[in-house]
Structure 1
Amino acid sequence: MQTETESDSLSEFRDWAYLPPEIVDLISVKVKYIVDYVRFRAVCSSWRSASCPKPRHLPPQLPWLMFPYAEKARSKNVRTRFFYDVWESKMREIPIPETWGMTCCASYRGWLLLVSYKGRQVSLLNPLTRCEIELPAFSCTWYHLYWVDFGKSKMTFSADLTHPNCLITVFLENDWVISCRIGERSWKRCQLL
């Protein structure tokens, strides 16, 4: 049988998962490093739902460098990517099955532009928040895209991806520029002089 003091001391240790969402949100905005923010959201489902999946309060972060799948990973059908965290000088291993069979042809503000073989599937992926945005496929009439070295491509957004008029622009290494808005069915393209 528990004594009164034992009962009181047990009640002092509340389950952190039951913090009010307002308190969780107040704590989440105090986190300043993206890795810590990802860990914060991974504590439990109630903390994840109470915190913003696209935090705007984080200061600019040094980029992580993503490594291609190693041959060993391909042969074992492993869906894990390795990232080099410049800030902490550490390798990080993150399971990202969405990147399997896709080429990362550009990145911007933490988003990866993923393209499947011959551009039949194109999407934006945030590897930390796991948010994915489908984009139009590349046109099969763009025969020159099949020979593009996507590793030399660059990407930019005109605004935050949640903005209805956000324009996504990709600069390809063959002096072609393609752009689209989220929800459009095709890319517009032009060649630079």
Structure 2
Amino acid sequence: MRNGVIFEKETPLHFILWVLARNLDSKLNRRDQMTSRDWTHLPLLPSIVDRLGLIDLLRFRAVCKDWNSASFAATAEIEAIPDQEPWCLIYGGNNSECSLITESDGKHTIYIPEMNGATCLASSQGWLLLFREGSMFFFCPLSGAKIDLPGPFPHTAINDHVAVFSAPPTSKDCVVAVVSRTETETLELHMIDRGATAWTEHKLASMVPTKIQYAAHYNGGFYFFDNKSDSMVYMSIEKRELRLGKVRYMKSAKDKSIPLRFSTNSEKENMKKRLGLEDGVQVSICGTVVSCESSADKMVPYENTGVGADDAEGRQIVKAAWFQPRFHRVSQNQSW
């Protein structure tokens, strides 16, 4: 209870904001109060923030810059929870309307102009790597932070492309790698380092995977997997060499391995159920990697069924991206 007002755990956010606005107006109308108070110093803020889930907390932060700043610590604490299942962003319509599907709060409609006409190629630590009209950029869907990459990208159209990056785009160690298969069955990989102004090209022409379903970065290298055929392509960031290999699964706890695992069939089915799409709707989904402190990090698969509005049989195709809920900030002059 604060100043005679009791907020329960389930109190709606809009009611809380209405009470705050009413109390603030009352104070401002007093004759002895000639100046307005800083909203960050309202005595109820700590009590409110502690009771909000992440969705309501994001709405709370959108009220004004001061409330955004006042709730920063609370958001950071929620985002630091390990083993959190990824959220899904469904996009790709004719406007900026998107559907945000959280782990426990259901589906929410949000409007993100940056997603209009874009295709997500990679997702890691809350950052999406997006391609639109020949250009590529990093984007945080929860904060709106954006960082443009140098262009143009070597390909003018995107089809079955899969990407991965080694670190957040604000890090000097960030390297981006984008792979695709050509009509001649050659695997092409384009890379760009943080601070570079142009992409470099690398090719692998023999026995390349039929379809890349997973992508990950680990210990100075990029991994691209097709777990149906157990094929793997590896790129050393330091040596810039592409190599083809086979996935060997652990047989005992003593086996040496990288701390990554494929999503199980039951996990894939649970994720599809969370999307709640109608039967017959095809989805082109960008995968991600979920950090797990208790076990190997889980790789969430890509599902590339096409990137156009409809496939060859006239079925609707929806684009989506799995991502970890993070609220990244960048300065106005942040550049690649």
Q: 2:200 aligns with which of 159, 168, 188?
A: 188
Distance 1:41 1:163, change over 3 A: same
Q: Secondary structure at the match of 1:114?
A: strand
In the TM superposition, what whole-angstrom CA distance separates every residue of 1:114-172 from its partner, at most 9, and x where no partner exists?
1123x2x11011010100010122444x5xx746323xx1423x333322222233344
Equivalent pair of 1:107/1:113 in contact (CA under 8 Å)? yes
C-alpha separation in 2, matches of 1:39 and 1:62: 21
Q: Secondary structure at the match of 1:67?
A: strand
Q: Does 1:148 align with 2:165?
A: no
Distance 1:139 1:132, change over 3 A: closer
In the TM superposition, what whole-angstrom CA distance separates every residue of 1:45-102 from its partner, at most 9, and x where no partner exists?
212245559x6542243222222334xxx2xxx31111222333x1111110012122
Distance 1:38 1:169, change over 3 A: farther
Q: Which residue of 2 aligns with 1:64?
A: 87
Q: Which residue of 2 aligns with 1:43?
A: 63
Q: Does 1:103 align with 2:115?
A: no
Equivalent pair of 1:67/1:83 in contact (CA under 8 Å)? yes
Distance 1:34 1:15, change over 3 A: same
Q: Does 1:85 align with 2:74?
A: no
Q: Does 1:127 align with 2:141?
A: yes
Q: Which residue of 1 aligns with 2:171?
A: 163
Q: 1:115 aligns with which of 131, 141, 144?
A: 131
Distance 1:183 1:47, change over 3 A: farther
C-alpha separation in 1, matches of 2:51 and 2:193: 32
Distance 1:82 1:168, change over 3 A: same
C-alpha separation in 2, matches of 1:188 and 1:92: 39
Deviation at 1:15, TM superposition (A): 6.3
C-alpha separation in 1, matches of 2:157 and 2:76: 37
Q: Which residue of 2 aligns with 1:94?
A: 110
CA RMSD of aligned residues (A): 3.6
More helix by share: 1
Where structure 2 has 5 or more consecutive residues not aligned to the other structure, the ranges are 1-25, 28-35, 204-241, 245-336
Query: Could you state the TM-score of these two structures normalised by the residue count of structure 1?
Result: 0.64
C-alpha separation in 2, matches of 1:32 and 1:107: 26
Moved more, 92-101 or 180-189: 180-189
Q: Secondary structure at the match of 1:124?
A: strand
In the TM superposition, what whole-angstrom CA distance separates every residue of 1:4-50 from its partner, at most 9, and x where no partner exists?
xxxxxx76xx9671418xxx79x97x689642442342232212245
Q: Which has the higher contact order (CA 8 A, sep 6+)?
A: 2
Query: Could you state the TM-score of these two structures normalised by the residue count of structure 2?
Result: 0.40
Distance 1:92 1:16, change over 3 A: farther
Please identify the structure whose Cα radius of gyration is greater: 2
Q: Which residue of 1 aligns with 2:41?
A: 19
Identity %: 29
